[in-house]
């Protein structure tokens, strides 16, 4: 079985412990609420889940991904709380399920305040930790400020409960916690989560190849980390494909790496072509420039010539559009692609 897990939250042998877990525990001891911030696919959710599942506490995770309405957001909170509650407010039209739930009436609708007020009393002997994942999704609610205000009001009244926040869109999270108009303005300590330390990470990855009867040429790591910008989830994605294309008892070498990249690009070509054709002419030009440019001076003459952009304003518009579509994100001072294989496809397949 392929030892590299590339989707969802990982635990057990699939999780590589990281030093940020110790910082999370220090915040826990101090009773601080924390915003866990970092690039996509760096393992933020896995870090939080593994840190607190190993702790003697009551850990509740609410994933707000896809919550487009207040009712859906409330339902997600209720589903997370249901296993721990003997009595809950009624959620009209929701099928929460579970033994011991009591309903007020078919018409009653629980509010977010009703649900959060249950949290402090969930466990009398263990600390309670609530993890709001994909928290930025709440900005898509029709009355986002009102909903966030209600959440903030209840959280503020619960100093005995630790609340953690994370999400896949750094800019939108910062809008919630660092815009002065936001109810959550500076309401949580900021903890940055970046790439894993390369040395120990490479050792851990190499051991996964060896433990499953394979080996990997050490010279490949430079190419893998360059392709993926050292994003842990993307590094494992490449290793997943290399492992699938390898055989037991063999060493994965440079030729295997090239063959794997060609196979993945061939398999995804039709999907990438579809994505490409949905971009405007200017967005395509900027995407070409970003895929092939290695500096961070995106209004320089070199970038303009490489991309074919007509003006700095067109570069700005193109970058903003690509970011809004979720195709690129800012890492430090560089714009990089959410899918490194898509960047490789653009660089090699688009004239």
220-228 helix and 254-277 helix, angle to the nearest 10 degrees: 10
Element (H, E) at 330: strand 328-331
pLDDT of residue 332: 78
Residue 230 CA: distances (Å) to CA of 14, 169, 201, 225, 285: 18, 18, 10, 5, 26
Domain with CATH 3.40.50.300 in the chain: 17-192
> What would you report as the CA-atom Rg of the chain, rounded to the nearest whole angstrom?
23
Q: How many other C-beta atoms are found inside a 10 Å radius of the C-beta of residue 201?
A: 19
Q: Which residue has the tokens 């263990």?
A: 126
> For 277-334, what is each residue's pLDDT tens digit?
999 999 999 999 999 998 889 989 999 998 999 999 999 999 999 998 989 988 878 8
Q: What is the predicted pLDDT for the residue at 40?
A: 82
Please check the confidence at residue 33 and state whether its pLDDT lies above 80: yes
The tens digit of pLDDT for each residue in 75-110 reads 999 999 999 887 666 544 444 444 333 434 333 457
Rounded-to-integer distance, Cα 203 and Cα 198, Å: 9
Chain-centroid distance, C-alpha 213? 31
What is the dotted CATH code of the domain comprising 17-192? 3.40.50.300
- When the pLDDT of each residue in the chain is averaged and rounded to a whole number, the result is 90
pLDDT tens-digit map of 198-208: 999 999 999 99
């Amino acid at each position: 079985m392929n030892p590299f897990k590339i989707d969802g939250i990982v635990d057990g042998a699939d999780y590589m412990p990281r030093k940020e877990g110790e910082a999370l525990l220090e915040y826990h001891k101090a009773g601080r609420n924390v915003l866990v911030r970092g690039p996509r696919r760096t393992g933020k959710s896995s870090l939080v889940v593994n840190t607190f599942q190993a702790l003697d506490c009551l850990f509740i995770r609410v994933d707000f991904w896809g919550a487009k309405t207040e009712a859906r957001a409330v339902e997600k909170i209720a589903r997370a709380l249901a296993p721990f509650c003997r009595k809950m407010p009624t959620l009209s039209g929701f099928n929460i399920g579970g033994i011991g739930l009591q309903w007020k009436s078919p018409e009653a609708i629980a509010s977010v305040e009703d649900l959060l007020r249950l949290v402090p009393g969930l466990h009398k002997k263990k600390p309670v930790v609530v993890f709001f994942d994909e928290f930025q999704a709440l900005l898509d609610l029709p009355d986002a400020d009102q909903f966030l205000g209600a959440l903030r009001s209840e959280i503020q009244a619960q100093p005995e409960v630790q609340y953690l926040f994370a999400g896949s869109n750094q800019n939108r999270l910062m809008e919630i916690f660092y815009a002065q108009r936001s109810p959550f303005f500076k309401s949580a300590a900021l903890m940055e989560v970046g790439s894993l330390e390369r040395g120990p990470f490479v050792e851990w990855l190499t051991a996964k190849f060896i433990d499953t009867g394979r080996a990997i040429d050490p010279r490949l790591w430079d190419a893998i980390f360059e392709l993926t910008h050292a994003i842990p989830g993307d590094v494992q994605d490449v290793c997943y494909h290399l492992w699938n294309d390898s055989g037991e008892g063999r060493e994965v070498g440079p030729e295997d790496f090239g063959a794997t990249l060609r196979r993945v690009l061939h398999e995804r070509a039709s999907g990438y072509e579809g994505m490409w054709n949905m971009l405007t002419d200017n967005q395509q030009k900027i995407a070409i420039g970003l895929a092939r440019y290695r500096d961070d001076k995106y209004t320089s003459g070199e970038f303009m010539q490489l991309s074919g952009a007509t003006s700095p304003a067109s570069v700005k518009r193109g970058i903003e559009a690509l970011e809004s579509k979720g195709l690129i994100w800012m890492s430090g001072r560089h714009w990089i692609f959410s899918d490194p294989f898509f960047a490789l496809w653009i660089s090699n397949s688009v004239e």
